[in-house]
Amino acid sequence: MSFLTKALGFDVKKHNVRTEIVAGITTFLTMAYILAVNPGIFSALPGMPQGSVFTATALAAIIGTLVMAFYAKKPFGLAPGMGLNAFFVYTVCLTMGYSWQFALTAVFIEGIVFIILTVTKVRSWLVDAIPGTLKKAIGAGIGLFIAFIGLQNAGIIVNSDATLVTLGDITHGKALLGLIGLAITASLVMAKIRGGMLIGILATAALGLIIKDPETGAAITTLPSAVMSLPASVDPIFCKFEWHQIFTLDMLVVVFTFLFIDMFDTMGTLIGVCQGTELGEKEKIDGLDKMFMSDAVATVAGACLGTSTTTTYVESASGVGEGGRTGLTALSIAVCFGIALFFSPIFLAIPGAATAPALVIVGVMMMHSIKVIHWEDYAKSIPAFLTIILMPLAYSISDGILIGVIAYVVTHAISGKFKDISVTMWILAVLFVLRYIFI
């Protein structure tokens, strides 16, 4: 226990080893999809073998999460970020026409800049400058966002050309499986059974062996053809940087975009997940600098390994919802990624419909923060509402924060409440407006 206390911030009076481990496994299961998605996205780029990208993805997650565990001592998982990987492949490489080596160099530079910003406490300064109302809204917005992701993964919410989104066919296939899983998981959580969300994920995955996809006729959960496989080498993509264009305008724009998205996604995730727990009871979140440093180091490591920006995952909320509070949760996540390197066929067999119920339940848990927002004060409630609603609708944590900050300054200026607008908020609002105009 003394080792756990010193190395991972575990307090025997407040924390439970079993709870922390279960929380870590739960977080891993909700974010393990990146092991399948990331190689698929990068497969569009010649010279980046899927096997190598899979290994790089897992190793980046392991390194970043271990730094979070032992340095920050917090219960968050890290891995190459969704959205950032798409920007890397489809915008920088396929649209702008740059090589993947150029994009990796941009990610590496972004990570170095992040380290500098963290050491100089600029990132923490930005977080502290955000008003309490917006911080509460960020938590609720992320709750809606991850619930929306879960509903999409299960096919309960699907695309519609007429209305953008609509209800899927909930009488068949993975949507039906997701709803049954939601009922099971909700029952376990309401009964206060420890590990309820993890049990719900596993039970739903097991039911997927019975429930079939109506289009293919195959079971939603498929048994893997193999149990183990050795990880592929990262040598084809390891440290493949391209330095001769680092002083070009395009490199500046690409680095800034990576930096901007990563900064505010991570900021929103940490604020949102910490809200409502002892991790975020105080006005200033304890250990924020170390959490940011973990994120920055993970980005540099990921770039060296050959993958896109590594960031703190909002799915960490599922583990926090299970009671994870210390670095032991993060260590458990890292161990799971290490196991996944050799047992990837098994871990990747868990369908998105099985993890969806956990994400929906976590969304419910994160909504409680809206009760302290002063809804009768429109100068505060309008920016808060925009922050909350735009995260799922724009499919972006960072856009929700940016629009919320701009709206906060505008509504307070219109209502004459200039004393409630700090100099930092004015500066941020101007920068964010310029961001939408020029990028």
CB 337 within 8 A of CB 60: no
pTM exceeding 0.85:
no
Residue-wise pLDDT for 178-213, tens only, equals: 999 999 999 998 998 867 888 888 899 999 999 999
Q: Which of 31, 78, 68, 62 is nearest to 328 (CA)?
A: 68
Compute the CA torsion angle 274, 280, 286, 290 (nearest 10 deg).
10
Mean pLDDT is lowest, of 58-62, 69-73, 190-194, 216-220, for 190-194
The total number of residues shown for the chain amounts to: 439
d(CA 208, CA 218): 10
CA angle centred on 363, ends 358 and 364, rounded to 5°: 100
Arithmetic mean of pLDDT, 341-358:
83
- Which residue's structure tokens are 């050491």? 119
Query: Which residue spans within 130-282 are E strands per DSSP?
Result: 157-160, 164-167
Residue-wise pLDDT for 106-137, tens only, equals: 999 999 999 998 898 887 787 778 888 898 88
pLDDT on residue 173: 93
CB 373 within 8 A of CB 133: yes
Q: Please, what's the largest Cα pairwise distance for the chain?
A: 66
Q: Which of 395, 400, 396 is nearest to 384 (CA)?
A: 400
CB 84 within 8 A of CB 311: yes
Burial (CB < 10 A; 0-12, 13-18, 19+), residue 413, is middle
Q: What is the CA radius of gyration of the chain?
A: 21
| Tokens representing residue 325 in the block | 């509070």
